[in-house]
Structure formats: C-alpha cells, structure tokens
C-alpha cells in the first residue's frame, strides 16, 4: 500500500510538473506590451445617417380597410431623425488608410474616426457587402502608426489571440482568448470562411482587428453568436486576413471588387449522387446549370459535370469552389478537372468577372424596391408594413386587429433568432404597435433601461405566441 501511495505521489508530481511547464510555455505572462504597441493603430468609428418615417398627427388610428384610412393618409407627417452607430477599425498605412466592416459604415452620411484622443473625418475608398469589408481614408495629412497582416492559414486552433476594439462605445478595449476553430461557415456572407474565437467580442467590436501574439492582424472581427442577448458568450467570428487582403487591395486600387467568375450554378455531391456517378466518395461540386455565354459555357462544361479540381486546388466540398473562383484573378487561364460519365477530363478556360455578369446583376436586383407602405425600424433592424384586411382574413386575426408584418429582417437584428419574415408583431410590452409607433416605442423602452422586449407575435403557422428578447 505504501509503495502504491509513493508511486501515486510520484506520478502526481510528474503530472503537476509537466502541467506547470506546459502552462509556462503556452500562457503569456502579460499582454501589456503587446496592447501598448497596438493601441495607437486601432480606431473607433462612429457614423450617422438620416432615418425617414411618417407619423400620424392624430391621437387615433382607423382600422385597416376603413374609408377614413385613405382620407387621413394625407395628414401623415414625414419626419426625419438622426441615427448613429459605433464600430471599430485599424490603420494599415501611415497615410491613414483604415479597414473595417461594411456593415459599420453602410448608408452612413458622416463618418468620424477617433485615433487615440483625436477625431478625423473619413471617406469611403471602397466597400464590399459580399465579404462585409470596407476601406476608409482619413482626411488628414498627419502620419499614423499602421499594423501589418499575418498569415491566417498558419494560425492554429488553440493559439492565443488578442482583440482590440470599441465595444458599446468603450474605446480601446483589449480582450484575449484562443482560436476556437477555423473555416467556420455561419451563412453570414457568400464566402464565409471564418475564424472562431472565444476572445470577448461585443457590439462595437465589428471591424476591429484580431491579433496573434506577434502583433499581426490575422482576422477582422465581424460577428458573434449570442442567443437571446446582446453580449458575448465566447463565440465570436473574424474574417481571416488571407481572405481579406486581396479584397482590401482591390478596394484600394479600384474602389470595388473584381472577382473571378465561371458561370455555373452548383450543388452538393451527396453519397447517393456519388454512387450513381461511380465516384469513390462524395466530393466536388455538381454543375446544376451553365449560364449561356459564360466562361464555363465557352469551355464546354455541361449540367451533370462534377468539378473536382480548380486551378490546381482540390474541391472536396461544394462551398470551396465559389471561394476559390472568387479569389482568382479575372482573366486568368485556369484548368478544371471534371468527372463526366465515369471519366476524369480536363477543361481550360479564361475566368470572367463576377460583378460584370448577368447573373450577378440580376442577383443585385433581388432586393425589391421598398414599397411606400413599408417602413424601416432602425432600432430592431427590420422592415415592416401595417397589417391589412387580407392579413386579417388569411391569418385568422380578430377584426380591427393592429400590428405589423415583417417584410425584411437583418441577420444583425436583436430579434432575428426569434421571428421570421411574414411573422406579425401585434404588441411589444403588451402595447399594440403600428409601423408609425413601433420604432419610438422600442427606443422609449431602451431609454428606460428595460432589458427585455416582450413581443406578441403571430407566426407563419398562424399561432399566437409570446417571445422574450434580451436587448441590454
């Protein structure tokens, strides 16, 4: 028994010693020097835009379909108010070129950038909603301290990272964590390939840098997952520097992106499809259709082809192909390896430009022009319209019901995880809402310091339910 105890104690000591040695090697003693070095290069961004709505001059409303409804529409007063938002960014050259997220500056009328304690106006050099990136230029002749990009592909899961930004308007905030995962796809953008980190990222951190311990930018903080709340729960995402660098260079040089284009619509290769096509395993991207006159069409690609390799890069999953094509220079001659009728063949083609393609332009038009009846609710980042008689009949609502139908909802809306397009919001805090009242009601609730919105909704199955949403 004594021998066993001695052996156990010895083993414990070995484990304890090894653990201490491991921690000593992997855990930095302090981030102070790193933070001090990088702080001057991280900026706080504030933007303003004008929100236009209409308000009813009368203290009453008429039920949908009432003959008085149309009569009194002429008395609705257009109103304007200023809305502001906060974000982060970082300086990439001494002349004051700044990288941030597109959603930080989208639709901004004025952009102010705080560098340390000094404020500057900034203009947009270029922006890319598809990758959620934007490049700004400070309107100043001052000299600034830039940071450099690192190689995000060399970053490993488990490595320490540091995030610096402007969460909730608290400028110059430093948080640390590790890389939790790489190559995450959360359907945020068309080209998701995100770094996941547990470094604390909150509202206002968007556009800020994610540094490695060398002080190199390996990611641009862009999103968090925080179900039911606005704060961080340790699941944040950053655009990898390797993906961002090419786009940033294009935005600086051209003011826009120039992505490669094949001209095919693709889908996943399932096990069943692989079995039928006599592929050894499910891999590649299955061509569902080929656009007439596209580079793929000119090269002889057909529906039913399976693209296994693009320009020397193996395509294991469907989502790898659009990313590989987009990151390839327009006009480059590339070779595709294709599985067709149980044979591996090669096709050479010259890449076109995505932004000039018919399908891209048509895709841009999918955002329907906003109807006069639709109102943007800035506080909730949704677009709504008032319910009408057709809604009341179709959704089995009581006569003279009030409420709004959601027609658009941003993935950054605080209620996006709880409601869907075509859901009806009847009440907030048990107060009936309309398109003219909902925004001011929410803002009043927020100003009072209340932390939760209680929504009364009718879902798309016509079921009435209550939803509690954390907002503070």
Q: How far is CA 352 from CA 259, 292, 465, in A?
A: 8, 13, 50
Place of tokens 């970082």: 90
Q: Which string of b and e fits 377-402 if b means at least 16 CB within 10 Å?
A: bbbbbbbbbbbeeebbeebebeeebb
Q: Can 183 be counted among the known catalytic residues?
A: no
E strands in 101-233: 110-115, 118-128, 133-138, 160-165, 173-184, 194-197, 209-211, 217-224
Catalytically annotated residue among 41, 103, 192, 305:
103
Q: Can 386 be counted among the known catalytic residues?
A: no
Cα gap 340→342, rounded to integer Å: 5
CA 161 to chain centre: 20
Q: How far is CA 109 from CA 50, 51, 99, 112, 301, in A?
A: 8, 11, 18, 10, 46
Catalytically annotated residue among 46, 88, 127, 132:
132
Catalytically annotated residue among 88, 152, 176, 206:
206
Check residue 116 and give left, alpha or beta (phi > 0: left; psi -120 to 50: alpha): left
List beta partners, residue 110.
Answer: 48
Q: Can 206 be counted among the known catalytic residues?
A: yes
E strands in 329-403: 333-340, 343-350, 352-353, 375-377, 382-386
* Residues with a known catalytic role: 103, 132, 206
């Amino acid at each position: 028994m004594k021998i066993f105890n001695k052996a156990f104690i010895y083993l414990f000591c070995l484990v304890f010693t090894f653990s201490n040695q491991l921690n000593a090697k992997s855990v930095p003693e302090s981030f102070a020097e790193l933070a001090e070095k990088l702080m001057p290069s991280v900026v706080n961004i504030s933007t303003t835009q004008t929100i236009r709505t209409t308000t009813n001059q009368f203290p009453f409303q008429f039920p949908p379909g009432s003959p008085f409804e149309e009569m009194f529409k002429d008395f609705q007063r257009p109103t304007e108010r200023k809305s502001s938002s906060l974000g982060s960014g970082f300086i990439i050259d001494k002349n004051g070129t700044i990288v941030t997220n597109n959603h930080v500056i989208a639709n901004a009328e004025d952009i102010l950038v705080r560098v340390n304690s000094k404020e500057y106006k900034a203009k947009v050099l270029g922006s890319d909603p598809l990758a959620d990136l934007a490049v700004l230029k400070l309107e100043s002749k001052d000299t600034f301290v830039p940071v450099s990009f690192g190689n995000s592909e060399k970053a490993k899961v488990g490595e320490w990272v540091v995030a610096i930004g402007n969460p909730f308007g608290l400028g110059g905030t430093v948080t640390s964590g590790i890389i939790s995962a790489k190559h995450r796809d959360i359907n945020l953008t068309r080209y998701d390939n995100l770094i996941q980190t547990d470094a604390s990222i909150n509202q206002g951190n968007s556009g800020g840098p994610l540094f490695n311990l060398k002080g190199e930018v390996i990611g641009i903080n862009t999103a968090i997952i925080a179900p039911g709340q606005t704060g961080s729960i340790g699941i944040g995402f950053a655009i990898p520097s390797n993906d961002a660098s090419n786009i940033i260079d294009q935005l600086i040089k051209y003011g826009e992106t120039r992505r490669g284009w094949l001209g095919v619509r693709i889908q996943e290769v399932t096990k069943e499809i692989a079995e039928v096509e006599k592929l050894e395993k499910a891999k590649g991207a299955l061509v569902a259709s080929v656009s007439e006159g596209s580079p793929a069409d000119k090269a002889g690609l057909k529906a039913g082809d399976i693209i296994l390799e693009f320009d020397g890069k193996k395509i294991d999953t469907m989502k790898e192909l659009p990313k590989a094509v987009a990151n390839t220079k327009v006009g480059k001659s590339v070779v595709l390896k294709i599985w067709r009728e149980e044979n591996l063949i090669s096709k050479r083609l010259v890449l076109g430009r995505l932004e000039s393609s018919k399908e891209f332009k048509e895709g841009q038009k999918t955002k329907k022009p906003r109807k006069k009846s639709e109102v943007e609710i800035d506080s909730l980042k949704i677009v709504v319209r008032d319910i009408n008689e057709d809604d009341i009949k179709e959704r089995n609502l009581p006569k003279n019901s009030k409420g709004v139908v959601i027609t658009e909802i941003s993935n950054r809306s605080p209620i996006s995880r709880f409601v869907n397009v075509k859901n009806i919001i009847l009440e907030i805090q048990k107060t009936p809402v309309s398109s003219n009242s909902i925004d001011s009601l929410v803002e009043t609730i927020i100003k009072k310091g209340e932390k939760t919105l209680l929504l009364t909704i009718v879902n798309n199955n016509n079921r009435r339910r209550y939803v509690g949403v954390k907002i503070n």
